[in-house]
Amino acid sequence: MKTAPRPSNEKLRQQALEKYQILDSLPEDSYDDITRIIASICDTPIALISLLDNDRNFFKSKHGVELSEAPRDLSFCSHTIISDDDIMVVNDAREDERFIGNPSIEEENTVFYAGVPLIDKEGFKLGTLCVFDGKPRELNKTQMDSLKSMAKHVTLLFEERLKNFELERIQEELKVKNQELKDFAGIVTHDLKTPLSHISMISQLLAADNKDKFSKDSMEYLKLLEEAGFNLSRYIDGMLHFYQSDELVSDELDDFNFKELVEDIIAMTGKDPSVKISYSPAEPTIIKSSKAALHQILLNLVNNSIKYGDKKTTRVSLDLFDHEDYYSISVSDNGRGIPEDKIDHVFNLFYTADNEDRHGNKGTGIGLATAKRLLNHLDGTFDIQSEVGKGTNITIFLPKFHNLNS
């Protein structure tokens, strides 16, 4: 018996194998299907996906044997990975000088062997897809071609495994960065809102105490300072709500009354007599979704309709439609409308279709982005129909069966 020498690039080959994190991993159907199929095609009792570790062969998949590993020095596969051939066939190991006296011939009844190296995209031979039989024999061309093809499929599974690990790593990094951003938003809110409030308050006090002493320009500067503090405070509040919006979506759905939800939103929007809000259906209707998330979505849409109303009476309507597999909720108004070239952007963070709302304040472009973020968590979508000067209709679609926090 001759022990196969180690490949000249053994250290790098071992590193390449270890990066797949497949050694000592549990059985998987995708690999077991391959050994089962190739055993059938080659008409052999044994088929293995064998990976050559430092001192052993680890069997990622095994068909026809109970062993999960074997000594590398006794391995047929250790000879396969140092060969330049694309397949190694041993018709009768009892007559091959490399294997005469190998105890596996008697103990495991491995007289016939055929193996194809598992070569990764960098050219490293990680192991083999191989078949064994207890009697001398040969493989025909179809069987050998099948063995080669299935070996390539095994390496594709390895690459897919590696990509999945990379995606998991990226997702974990994104979670960490997102949490850092949330923490930062909280710190900014706490550390900036107090001094901003002081700036606005001091500006008001200075204006009140010195209205007969300061020049007209100085009073205007104080007013501008107060407005700047107010606007910056609105941005900070909006960003905090945006990054905290995920917390509104719980792991379980709620059963709640749509009518009560809308009436609560109407109460929160104030009692401006020039704003008329209606809804349907008028009777109590129970729906199943995330109550907190839907409340925030609709509140943002209604507030947006009110802020950008330009008619003597601003009219807003919320209408629920119960379909077989989903709900649709339309929020329509008679406001300014959105230019066609801006419709696709209004849900983008910081984007504002108009410079100022009905009160002369510049929008933050955060409210609708928050609504979209929440809707994504509910597996929902939206549609916007708008005509300048006539109004806007935003319809959200909520599947009745969805995965929260997906």
Strands (E), 176-223: none
Distance of alpha carbon 102 from alpha carbon 202, whole angstroms? 92
Picking from 293, 308, 400, 295, the residue whose alpha carbon sits closest to that of residue 346 is: 308
- What value does the mean pLDDT take over residues 362-373? 71
Q: How confident is the model at residue 151 (pLDDT cuts 50, 70, 90)?
A: very high
**Residue extents of the structural domains in the chain:** 10-168, 249-406
CATH superfamily name and code, 10-168: GAF domain (3.30.450.40)
Picking from 149, 122, 117, 137, the residue whose alpha carbon sits closest to that of residue 38 is: 149
- What value does the mean pLDDT take over residues 43-66? 96
| SS3 assignment, position 53 | coil
**Is the domain 249-406 a CATH 3.30.565.10 member?**
yes
Backbone angles phi, psi at 278, to 5 degrees: -120, 165
**What are the residues whose beta carbons fall under 8 Å from the beta carbon of 118, sequence distance 6 or more?**
49, 51, 125, 126, 127, 128, 129, 151, 154, 155, 158
For the cut 60, the answer to whether the pLDDT of residue 244 exceeds it is no
Residue 168 to residues 161, 163, 182, 302: CA-CA distances in angstroms? 11, 9, 21, 38
Amino acid at 280: S
**What are the residues whose beta carbons fall under 8 Å from the beta carbon of 234, sequence distance 6 or more?**
361, 364
- N- to C-terminal Cα separation, the chain: 57
For the cut 90, the answer to whether the pLDDT of residue 183 exceeds it is no
For the cut 70, the answer to whether the pLDDT of residue 402 exceeds it is no
- What value does the mean pLDDT take over residues 347-358? 64
Instruction: Give the ranges where 210-247 is alpha helix by DSSP (H).
Output: 216-244
Picking from 276, 277, 335, the residue whose alpha carbon sits closest to that of residue 304 is: 335
Distance of alpha carbon 181 from alpha carbon 197, whole angstroms? 23
